[in-house]
Amino acid sequence: MAKGANRATLLPVSNDASTGSLAGPTDFAAGESVRLRDGSTAEIRRAVTDDEPELCSFLGDLSLQARQLRFFSAAVDLDSAAHWASEIGEDRCGLLAHDAQGLLVGHASFIQIDSARAEVAVEVADRLRGDGLGTMLIERLAAIAEA
């Protein structure tokens, strides 16, 4: 297999019809389509405060093992976690990924600790773990943090 052949890839389909240009690496308000290793697609966009109920449901649907890996405990207050994940501020950013059916399948966020460090969190739906979505979310968070 060629080097990088197993990587998930970006699909340049999230263009701005008014300018004909593609969304830049840090412009996720309108969404960005990506192709996963299994051939399926997901739409990545910035999280907003209105996403809190959907995030709470998504976190509740994760397996106990996935919740334990993410929160270091399977017994987490999902309402508080969803609230934290959907907060918006200059020191934080969150991204959501939805599948072709519109279901939330991934979330990643960072909160800036100081000028050189941030805390990062990533969750991917159990059925898509290993398909590259988490990596893509982290890459996009890094691009936003560097901008």
What lies within 8 Å, CB to CB, of 134 at 6+ separation is 106, 108, 122, 124
- Tell me the average pLDDT across 54-77: 83
Indicate whether 86 pLDDT > 60: yes
pLDDT of residue 116: 87
Strand partners, 71: none
Mean local confidence (pLDDT), 13-38: 55
**109 three-class SS:** strand
Name the pLDDT band for 37 (thresholds 50, 70, 90): very high
As a whole-number percent, the residues of the chain with pLDDT over 90 amount to 39
pLDDT above 80: residue 98: yes
Residues 6+ apart with CB under 8 A from 69: none
Phi, psi of 19 (to 5 degrees): -115, -15
Superfamily designation of domain 9-146:
Gcn5-related N-acetyltransferase (GNAT) (3.40.630.30)
Consecutive H or E run containing 122: strand 117-124
How confident is residue 25, by pLDDT bands cut at 50, 70 and 90? very low
Residue with tokens 């699909």: 11
122-143 average pLDDT score: 92
